[in-house]
Amino acid sequence: MSNQESVNRALKRLSYSKFRSSFHLSKKEKDYVKVKGMDVIEAHARDFIAKRLAPAHIENDGKQTPMRGHPVFVAQHACGCCCRGCLKKWYHVPDNRPLTDKEQASIVMILMGWIRQEMGE
């Protein structure tokens, strides 16, 4: 299965969740994406995931991702990638160990897929 097929499958599964499908980018967040460009947004996503989600133990896990303020934060909630508990529930990623580089890359792909979908791409 290709990366795009995996992303599409994840996004389709998330669309069945009333909570996850209730998230959308605001006009301000869409404008931010347009101004910064997808490459910058993806760099932000990689950084947020590495710092806020990848460590084995996160002091404020479950509360580390704001609900708004940056397109990636919104995408994290929409995609079930906001905390280690949600990663475990939605993607069966074990907790109490650091995320691998491959897992981090997969999360970023899903987030960027959702953002592109929100932007109408």
What global pTM score does this model have? 0.92
Q: Does residue 23 lie in a domain region?
A: no
Q: Report the domain count for the chain.
A: 1
Q: Does residue 96 lie in a domain region?
A: yes
Q: Residue 67: what pLDDT?
A: 83
Domain residues for the domain of 85 are 3-16+29-55+62-118
**pLDDT one-digit tens code per residue, 100-115:** 999 999 999 999 999 9
Q: Does residue 93 lie in a domain region?
A: yes
**Neighbouring residues of 82: CB distance < 8 A, sequence distance ≥ 6:** 64, 65, 73, 76
Q: Does residue 22 lie in a domain region?
A: no
Cα–Cα distance, 40 to 56 (Å, whole number): 26
pLDDT band at 27 (very low <50, low <70, confident <90, very high): very high
Q: Does residue 9 lie in a domain region?
A: yes
Q: Does residue 94 lie in a domain region?
A: yes
Q: Residue 86: what pLDDT?
A: 92
Q: Does residue 82 lie in a domain region?
A: yes
